[in-house]
Amino acid sequence: MLDRASSFADKDVIELLQRRFVPVALDVWYEERRQDAAGEFFRKVVFQREGLTPGRTTQGFYAFAPDGALLEGWNHRGVDRLKERLKAALDEWKPGAAAALTGAVDSRFDRTLPAGARIVEVRARITDAKWPEPEDEFRRIMQRATSLDHLWLLAEEIESLRAGRFPPELARRIARFHCIDNTRGEPPLWEPEEVVRCEVTLAPGTGRAKDATVDGVIALRSADGTRRYDARIGGSVEFTGDALARFDLAIRGTFAGGGEYTCHPPPGDFTLAIVFRLVAPAADGSLPAASRVPPQGARWLDDYLGRVAGR
């Protein structure tokens, strides 16, 4: 989020990337692991970066040619550095030939939206906390950050909502994978045994729901006792004919604790709010690029989709 609100909000950077580059954004967790042409090409590019050796994080920024030749590679924040490196890459750049890359996709890392599923935008923010005075501008941005993730609603769950029932599998997915404080970094998710309560209902609870009200309680406790969330979920779900037209939910509750990559939480208890809204396709049916990014929890796809027995 920090880079979205700083480096990639700069108008010169935006113009350079729009006009002079083909910009790509990727999750290295997938690219480092996949055994296919995309994964091999990714690794070919990033391991040219000075000082980067296998076993170290490949996170960073890379300008490169289609044949894989690295022009510039770095892993430090700062909009001035970003502009310098982009301009240096353009100075070095000479168009050349590049062979086609083909081959089967490594299906273990394929995250195609399941048939009939819908994408829901999920945003979270700390709305009330006793923050210390921020040390710098980055910390100030983090204290006000709104995160972005996506929830997948499966076809059978949409059908269940249409029939007037909030599916417990969906409620547990929301609790385990979306009741997270991801406002400062990659957050720890919740294990099944860490879900203390997850009771979500749709009213009216019987019959076919055209416009139904959601209400429920979610309580989460980490096994090591360092994190907790006690929250209320509410909102409404609406159908137009058989089509899901609205999935406007919100969660608000008391959170405490942080994780390895979400350090510097507010001290003590704080209020974490999370909102959900269906992603609307454009008139031509296309979806914004960001909405095609799979849910963070879908790294563990079968678990995310509720296909692991006992979880």
Partner 1 sequence: MAALAPFALSVVALLAPIGGDPPPLAPADVARLHRELLPTRAEPWETIGWRVDLLAARDEAIRSKRPLFLWAMNGHPLGCV
Instruction: Give residues 150-179 in contact with partner 1 (rule: CB under 8 A).
Output: 150
Distances in Å between the alpha carbon of 216 and those of 205, 219, 250, 253, 299?
A: 13, 10, 11, 12, 27
Site for partner 1, residues 203 to 232, rule: CB under 8 A: 215, 217, 219, 221, 224-228, 230-232
Among 31, 157, 194, 303, binds partner 1 (CB under 8 A): 31
Nearer to partner 1, 156 or 248 (CB): 248
**Residue 187 in the binding site for partner 1 (CB under 8 A):** yes
In the complex, what is the shortest distance from the CB of residue 60 to partner 1, in angstroms, rounded to a whole number? Answer: 6
Shortest Cβ distance from residue 38 to partner 1 (Å)?
5
Q: Considering only residues 97 through 136, tell me which ones interact with partner 1, judged by CB under 8 A.
A: 98, 100-101, 121, 123-125, 127
48, 234, 238, 246: which one contacts partner 1 (CB under 8 A)?
234
Burial code of 53-82, b = ≥16 C-beta within 10 A, e = fewer? eeeeebeebbbbbeeeebbbbbeeeeeeeb
Over its C-alpha atoms, the chain yields an Rg (Å, rounded) of: 22
Beta bridge partners of 255: 229, 270
Distance, CA of 248 to CA of 222 (rounded, Å): 28
Could you check whether the bond before residue 168 is cis, i.e. omega within 30 degrees of 0?
A: no
Q: Specify the stretch interacting with partner 1 by CB under 8 A; choose among 37-45, 128-136, 161-169, 278-286.
A: 37-45
Candidate ranges 60-68, 130-138, 158-166, 239-247; the one touching partner 1 (CB under 8 A):
60-68
C-alpha 289/C-alpha 285 separation (Å) is 13
In terms of CB distance, is 135 or 224 closer to partner 1? 224
